[in-house]
Chains A and B, each alone.
Chain A
Amino acid sequence: MNMDSRAMEAVNSEQGRIWKRFKKQWMLHLFVGIGMIFLIVFSYTPMFGIIMAFKNYTISEGIIGIFTSEWVGLKHFDEFINDYQFGTIVRNTLALSLLKVLFTFPAPILLAILLNEVKNGAFKRFAQTVSYLPHFISWVVVVGISFAFLSTDIGLVNKALLRLGLIDMPLDILTNPDYFWGLAVGSAVWKEMGWWTIIFLAAITGINPSLYEAAKIDGAGRLARIRHITLPGMQGTIVVVLILTIGSILGGGLVGSNFEQAFLFGNSINNPTSEIVQTYAFKVGLKDGRFSYAAAIDLIQSVISVALIFSSNYIAKRISGSGLF
């Protein structure tokens, strides 16, 4: 009895202290609380909304309908997997994602090494500034520029090649399904290469210059110095960027959105290679109004993405001893 009340008192005074501290910083909690409301409304409520993928939900039921509508289990997942387009869509999503990582990941590393070999500081800065200009331009404009260069009737490239007599027919790069993946990868490299060079160049700047001096004295040429000093010096940054890339690979990696590319470059003719999970979910969801079905398709992609984040992080931890979390 006695011990109990003493414990109670301790708890009470502990609570009292916390209460006193809280009262002192109530305004800070108000600030943070406003932020938490934004997170709850725009991030966490949609997360709970995912359960609609297992229900028969129609938009007219409002937000409550997500919880009250009838459960149908895996019906929508079944339907998607048995859709005649399923194989194509999954193949396109994976091919686009993998090809983009394969080509857009090494490009900024190479550009950073090239820039580092430039001795003239002004030229180096100017070249770098120019190289990341396209990062700030929207995909819409990038696709618009591609039209000006590649379209069959007005594109500069086609017109020039025709005039030079190198081709008899304009190249249908923007519509031929065979060209779509190359087009997406090429435009992603053009747009984002310079941007990611910044981080790799920063990594090179962090390398101790005395290493280069020592290598020079030992008779190492410039290529040898790149191989044995510059590249190893970038290793940590390369690992971090690689994890981030793999974690977001299905969305397009760090080099811009697969959705925007597939939506803007995609058309009815190159559809066999340009339709990806996200464009399909957009079409059946928001355009056809099949919310539960589209949410199920979305969810499949999210689950794979989350699995990729955790596995790439795990592998990075095993290899280099450090991951992101």
Chain B
Amino acid sequence: MMFAVAAIALFASMILVMIRLFAGPTLYDRVIAVNVFGTYTVLFIGVVGFLAGRPDFLDIALLYAIINFVGTIAVLKYFRYRAIGDLRPLTRKEETGL
């Protein structure tokens, strides 16, 4: 019963975060919304695992936490530096010589 209530509450929070994701005025609102949605997914997998009587779902939740962290850092680096590696983007002058 307790886990069912927690799952419903998490689901309602995920819907609110989705609203912020689509309505977010700036890029950083959307990035934070995706990150928080990932955190809620981690919690939801854990709660559903205990609800179904399979605590080994926690491994999957841990994996989601890692992938969420890596993905958020990658997206933020891309939008800050316009590159995922070491190289800066070429300016128009460097690329075309004009």
Q: Do A and B bind each other?
A: no
Chain B residues in the interface with A (C-beta under 8 A): none
Binding site for B on A (CB under 8 A): none
